[in-house]
Each structure stands twice: as structure tokens, then as C-alpha cells.
Amino acid sequence: MEPLLLFYGIAAAVSVYAFWFHLLARQLTGPKVWPIVGSLPFLFVNRWRIHDWIASNLRSTGGACTYQTCTICLPFLARKQGFYTVTCHPKNIEHILRTRFDNYPKGPHWQAAFHDLLGQGIFNSDGETWLIQRKTAALEFTTRTLRQAMARWVNRTIKNRLWCILDKAVKENRAVDLQDLLLRLTFDNICGLTFGKDPETLSPELPENPFAMAFDIATERTLYRLLYPGFLWRLEKFLGIGAERRLKQCLEIVEKYMNDAVEARKGDPSDDLLSRFMKKRDVSGNLFATPVLQRIALNFVLAGRDTSSVALSWFFWLVMNHPEVEQKIVGEISRVLGETRGNDRQKWLEEPLDFDEADRLVYLKAALAETLRLYPSVPEDFKYVVQDDVLPDGTFVPAGSTVTYSIYSVGRMKTIWGEDCMEFRPERWLTPEGDKFEAPKDGYKFVAFNGGPRTCLGKDLAYLQMKSVASAVLLRYRLSLAAGHRVEQKMSLTLFMKKGLRVHMHPRALP
């Protein structure tokens, strides 16, 4: 081709692209976008504070609480894979999670990424497949026996292991990583509740458990898949190299462990979730096959493992920094125990709270909800747009694009929670008399447990578990941050503390 012709050709293509990009950028309302890479440079620069960055973007929309951005500014892709509508507007969230639920599934990218780990389990399916599991599971989650089973697993772990570990740390005047202990505790609990086997990862020696490790790595490697274009991880998987190779090895360990758990339960059914699902039948009236049962169980383990421990870590940190709240929590627990166990302090300490005692802790529940408002365990969630739609605030969302609803940002908007939204104030969750817990009238102002048909099934169990652990720790110990330890957020789909929560425990003198 003539060089001059080539030059004009390129110049024409660049001009057409520049015009097209100008039209696209004009429609976008979020951070500045660049040709081709869109808002990725800003995302990269803010990667260490992604949730706060999203919240500040949403704040700068005035009261709109919604913006649109693009990460692949190329024709045909810009309106689909690369297009993100980010919102924390309660009406929009209600629309996505409830009103037009069918238009906003998890979607093909999410499902493809998680398929090897979670199969078509409740956490990773849409439509009929999800609905059948949801109905079956919802029946079980409302039973009192499941709550009693949770109380049993939690209390056993607290009494036999957590207290011993903490007492030893007090004696040796040694700091502990409370987040690590809590992650181990909730992992043991969810395994107990799901398939009746406690792997005892919370033990004085803090052992490495092959199943827990393999499951951790498999979850992390699966999340990597969401960060890169789909063809990259598929190619790695096909060639059996890189992160995909490790993922495959870990999946084999997880599968073997789950297979053993299912076989063990077959011979000895109990009151765990797996035993309950073994008695159920699928749509064709058949009992679930072993691989299906494995996946069902694994989905519950993933759903219920880290969320409560992460919430508890933020709770303890907030309480440490708010002595007036700590005093009220300890006061409430003491009052309830005074009524149920009398005035002998020894009796208060020898057993963790039972089910009914935990139920009476209204202020503690408010403090936990307040923690989740400011530090939701799942800070951002994503949905796929099936058909073009218009959100209640008038934002047009194109089919094939992604809607991100920022649970982290909802709790941090003055327009939603008032001028004092950044303050940790459990009182906002209580009735004016202060004796009852009161969730906000607009349920979509607080979506830490999601909302609509896909609301978290484990919410009540999680509150029960968190109350038991919080009171078991606070009644015995005061906490103080280890010297030099800085609490930071880890950028992941779960709001971990990046370097854990290193604290010293001090015996508490009860009132």
C-alpha cells in the first residue's frame, strides 16, 4: 500500500475512534476515562483503597449515588464486558435485588469462573437450578434444630479451644492474631454445621489443615479468574500451567475431603445440613447423587465461612476504639447473666451463653449490625444485566453489562444514613426506648446480608454465632492493639484485615 494512503487510512481510523470515544466518554458519569483502557489507570492507582475510592466516586455524584464507567473503551466491548454501572442508591438496589430480580442474575462470567469450585450449587447458580436449592435450603434454615446445632458447635469450640488459647496468651503476655483465630473458629463451625465434622483448625498449635488450605487457595485462584479476560484463564487451564495448575491440585484435595465427608454421613446421618439434604429429592424425584451433595455442601462452607469472622474482627476493633460502647455491651451481658445465672460471677464465665441468653442481647446485636453497616463482610457485589433496563433513578443499563452495588458505600453516604454516617453508633439500631432492635424501615439501606429472593440464608445463624463469640471474649477479656500494629483493609471480595488483628488480651474485672 502507498505510504500516503496508509497514513490517511490510519488518520481516518484514529479520527473515527476519537469521535466514537468522545461520544462514549460524554455518557459516562464516573472517574475520568482514557482511550482504550477507560478508567483502569484510576482503578490501578487506587487498588489499595478500592472500596473507599468507589465510595468517594459515589459521593461526588451529589445525591445521585450512581455512576457509569468503562474499563475497555473499544467498539462492541464498551457497552458490554467493559461497562459498569456502580450504585449505592437504595431504590436502585431494591430494583436489582427484588423488583427485577430475573433481569439481574449472577451471570455467565461469574458462573464460568466459579464452576470448577462450586459447580451448580446455590451460591453459583441462577434460574431453576438455584430456585430448587434455595427452596430446599430455606426450609432447613428456618428450623430451630439447625439453630441449636449451630449453638452447640460454637459453644463447644469456645469452651474447649478458644478460651484455652486466649488464657494461655494472657499468661504468657503474648499478642494473638484475633482475626486468624476467628477465621479458624468459623471455618470449624461451618464444617460442623454442614457435614458434621469439625476439622479443629482452631487448636493451641494452630495446625495447617490440608482441606482448609486447599479450599483457601482454590477460592483465591478462582477469584483471579474474575480479574482477567476469560480466554486467558481458559488457555492456562487447557495447558495446565500457572494459577490453573495449582487450582486443579487444590480442587482434587477438596473433592477427596468432601467425598469422604459424604460417605461418612451416609453411614451415620446426623442433624447437619448434608444429612438433611441426603433425605431430599431432586425435581425428578431422585435422591441427590454424591457429586451433587458434595457441591451443595461446599457452597454452604463457602457462604458461611469467612463472613462472620471478618465481621467479628471489625467489631472487636471498633469496640476497642469505643470504650463507651464496650461498657454498654459488657453491662448488657452482665445484666442478662445476672437474671439467668444469679450473681455468682464464676457461673457467668464457666459456660458460653446459651441460645436464649444470646437472644436477649439487643444492644450487642445493634453493635454488630452497626459494624456491618460500616464494614460489610461482602463490600461490593455484582450482577449481570440480561436485557436493557432503566433503573429507578433514570440510569439506563445496557444488556450484557455489569451492575456493581457497593454495600460498603451505602453505609457511608450522608444522604442515606445522615450527617453522622461515619460514626460508630449502635443506638441508631434501637427503638427510642432502647429496649428493642429495629432494622431501618427501608430495608435496602442495609444490604450487608443482601436482599430480595437471594437474601443471606445464614443471617440468624450468623448473629447467633457472632453474639456467642463476642460475649465469650468481652466478658473475660479487655483487648488492646499490639504495639505498632496497623489495621488495614485487604482488597478482596471479602473485607479481611490485611495484616490481621494483633491484640493483647487482659483479664476483665467484671462489675
Q: How far is the CB of 329 from ligand HEM (least distance, A)?
A: 17
Contact between 451 and ligand HEM by CB under 6 A: the answer reads: no
Residue among 363, 449, 477, 496 that touches ligand HEM (CB under 6 A): 449
Taking contact as CB under 6 A, which single stretch among the options 56-64, 206-214, 253-261, 445-453 is the one that binds ligand HEM?
A: 445-453
Pairing of strands 176-177, 502-507: antiparallel
Report the amino acid identity of residue 417.
Answer: W
* Tally: H helices and E strands in the chain: 22, 9
Taking contact as CB under 6 A, which single stretch among the options 44-52, 319-327, 376-384, 478-486 is the one that binds ligand HEM?
A: 376-384
Contact between 457 and ligand HEM by CB under 6 A: the answer reads: yes
Residue among 87, 219, 377, 406 that touches ligand HEM (CB under 6 A): 377
Q: Decide whether 190 or 330 has the Cβ nearer to ligand HEM.
A: 190
Q: Are 395 and 66 in contact (CB under 8 A)?
A: yes
Tell me the CA end-to-end span of the chain in Å, nearest whole number.
90
Q: Which residue is nearest to ligand HEM (CB)?
A: 458
How many angstroms from the chain centroid is the CA of residue 460?
15
C-alpha cell at 319: 469496640
Residue among 21, 83, 104, 123 that touches ligand HEM (CB under 6 A): 123
3-state secondary structure of 497: strand
Contact between 403 and ligand HEM by CB under 6 A: the answer reads: no
What is the DSSP secondary structure assignment for residue 483, as one 8-state letter? T
Task: Say how many residues touch ligand HEM, by CB under 6 A.
Answer: 22
55 burial level (CB within 10 Å; 0-12, 13-18, 19+): buried
Q: Taking the CA atoms of 458, 109, 393 and 28 in sequence, report the sign of the dihedral they define.
A: positive
Pairing of strands 83-87, 402-406: parallel
Q: Are 424 and 374 in contact (CB under 8 A)?
A: yes
| List of E strands, 313-395 | 380-384, 389-390
Number of residues written out for the chain: 511
Q: Which of residues 262-321 bind ligand HEM (CB under 6 A)?
A: 300, 303-304, 307-308, 311
Q: How far is the CB of 378 from ligand HEM (least distance, A)?
A: 4
Contact between 456 and ligand HEM by CB under 6 A: the answer reads: yes
Contact between 31 and ligand HEM by CB under 6 A: the answer reads: no
Q: Is 456 annotated as a binding residue?
A: yes
Q: Decide whether 300 or 384 has the Cβ nearer to ligand HEM.
A: 300
Binding site for ligand HEM (CB under 6 A): 122-123, 134, 300, 303-304, 307-308, 311, 372, 377-378, 381, 448-450, 454, 456-458, 461-462
Binding residues for heme: 456
